[in-house]
Structure 1
Amino acid sequence: MSDLLLVEEVFLLAHDEESGKQSAAVSMPGVLSGALLLDLALRELITVDEKKDVTTTGAVPDHPLLQEAIDVIVAEEKVRSVRQWLYQLASKMNPLLEKVGRSLVERGILGEQRAKFLGLFPTTRWPELDPAPEQQLRARLQQVLLQQVEPTDPDVALVALLEGLHLPATFVDKADRSHARKTATELTRMAERGEVISKTIGETLRGTQAAILGAVAASTAAAVATSAN
C-alpha cells in the first residue's frame, strides 16, 4: 500500500490529527504487535508451520522495528505460536506504541510532544507534520474497499486487520459503507483461508484476529459491567 510498515499504517489510521492522540483501539492487546508480525510475514522474515509455530527465515530486516522484533524472536529459546508472540512482542518491545510513533517522527510524518497530565502522569502527543502519507493511505483504502483496484498482499493484510476492529467502513462515504463492509468481510475470509495471500500471512492473520476479537469482547464486557454498576 505504501513504503510504510503495516504497523505504522495502523498507527496513522488510529491517529487523531487535531489532538495528536491515538484511538483506544490501537492500544488493545494484539493490534500493534499483530501488525508487526504481519510485517514480518509480508517480508518473508518469518514462517508459520501447521502447528502455528513461528520461526525466522534468516532474511535480513530493512527497518529497525523489524530488526528488533526478529532479535526478540531469535533470542527466545522456546518455540512459540503466533498468538503467543502477539503478547510476547508487545511485552518485550514495550512501549511498542511509542516506538512506532517515533519511527513516524523519524520519517518526518509526525512530531512528538511530551507533557504531564495534572503534572503527574506522562503523556505523549503526536502532531501530524506531513499529512500526505495518511491522505494517500486513506485514498488507497477507499479504492480497495470500493473494488476500484486489485488489492496487494499488504492491502489485504491491512483491511483484514482493520476489519477485526470494525473500522473499514469509516474510510468511505456513508453511501458506500455497505459496499465497503462487504468487501472487507470477503477479503478477510479469503485471507484467513489463504486464498489471496500466502499461508504464513494467513496463519499470522488468523492468530491476530483471534487476539483482537478477544480483546474487543473483554473491553465490551467491562464496559457493560461498569454501566450496570
Structure 2
Amino acid sequence: MAGLALADELFQMGHDEYSGKVRVSVDMLGCGLAAAALGELLLAGTLSVQDGKLAGWTARQTGDPVTDQVVAQLQRVGAGHALHHWVAHLRPEITELVAYRMAGKGVIRRETSRSFTGRVQTRFPASDPTEATRSAVRLGFLLGRPSDFDPQSALLAMLATGVGLDIVAPSLSGGQVRDRLALLQRSLPADHRDLIRAVDTAVAAIALQSHA
C-alpha cells in the first residue's frame, strides 16, 4: 500500500475489503486511528513526545483533512497532556476524517443503508480489494523478516495489534507471531512506545465503560 499514510493503512486493515464492515468495534478502531494520526506527525518529525506526554510540535496545516485537524486541536489545547488523553480527545471525529481523506483519493467508497429499525449504517468497501490487503500482507511478511521493518510498518503493526486486529504470518505460528510483536514493540523508539501504551490505555477505558 505504498503511498498511504499510517491512519489510512490502519483504516483499511480495520475494514473488510469487500463489505466495508468494520472488523473490530468502532470505538476501538477509533482509538487506533487517533493514535495513527498523531503517529503521522511523529513519523514526520513534527511532533515531540516525552514521558508519555505531548511535549510540543512544529507541524503546520497543509490542507490534509486528518493532520490539519490534529494541528488545529494542538493549537487549541496546547502541549503537556498525556497521550492517552489525546487519543480519547481525537477519537470521536477521526474515523470520518480518515474516511474523507481516503474517499478523496479514490481508495474506498462510502455506502450507506438503513436497517429495519431505521438505523443508518455506513460501510467503506475498498475500491480495489486486492490493493486493500497489501498492508496486512506486508506486515505478515515483515514479521518473518523483522530486521526489514521500516518505522511506519512497525508502528502500524503495533497499532493494529493494540486495537485487536490479527496479523497473519504464513511462515510463523501464532505463538511466534506474538513473540515477534513483543520484540518489535521493545525495539520501537521511546516516543512510539509511548503512543502504543496510550492506545492500550484508551482501549482499556472503553472496555471498562462497555461493562459498566
TM-score calculated relative to the size of structure 2: 0.84
**Which of 136, 139, 147 is matched with 1:138 structurally?**
136
How do 1:1-229 residues align onto structure 2 when only pairs under 5 Å count? 2-28=2-28, 30-50=31-51, 52-59=53-60, 61=62, 63-77=64-78, 79-91=80-92, 94=93, 96-118=94-116, 120-147=118-145, 150-169=148-167, 171-173=168-170, 176-191=173-188, 197=189, 199-216=190-207, 219=210, 222=211
SS of match in other structure, 2:113: strand
AA in 1 matched with 2:203: I
AA in 1 matched with 2:196: L
Cα distance, 1:190 vs. partner?
Answer: 2.5
Cα distance, 1:208 vs. partner?
Answer: 2.2
Alpha-carbon displacement from aligned partner over 1:88-142 (angstroms, at most 9, x marks no partner): 1124xx2x22221222211212111122222622221212211343232122111
Alpha-carbon displacement from aligned partner over 1:4-51 (angstroms, at most 9, x marks no partner): 121111110111123221123452262221121112211122111336
TM-score calculated relative to the size of structure 1: 0.79
The Cα RMSD (Å) is 2.7
Structure 1: any 5+ residue segments left out of the alignment?
192-196
Partners of 2:59 and 2:169 in 1: CA distance: 40
Structure 2: any 5+ residue segments left out of the alignment?
none
Aligned-pair identity (%): 22
* Range that drifts further, 150-159 or 119-128: 119-128
Aligned residue-pair number = 211
SS of match in other structure, 1:30: helix
AA in 2 matched with 1:68: Q
Cα distance, 1:79 vs. partner?
Answer: 3.8
Cα 1:13–1:38, aligned 2, differ >3 Å: closer, same or farther?
same
Partners of 1:80 and 1:138 in 2: CA distance: 32
AA in 2 matched with 1:48: V
SS of match in other structure, 1:18: coil
Partners of 1:148 and 1:56 in 2: CA distance: 30
Q: What is the match of residue 194 of structure 1?
A: none
Partners of 2:178 and 2:52 in 1: CA distance: 31
SS of match in other structure, 1:109: coil
AA in 2 matched with 1:188: Q
Partners of 1:217 and 1:189 in 2: CA distance: 26
Given that 2:83 and 2:195 are in contact with CA atoms closer than 8 Å, whether structure 1 keeps it comes out as: yes
* Range that drifts further, 5-14 or 139-148: 139-148
**Larger RCO (CA within 8 A; separation ≥ 6):** 2
Cα 1:60–1:105, aligned 2, differ >3 Å: closer, same or farther?
closer
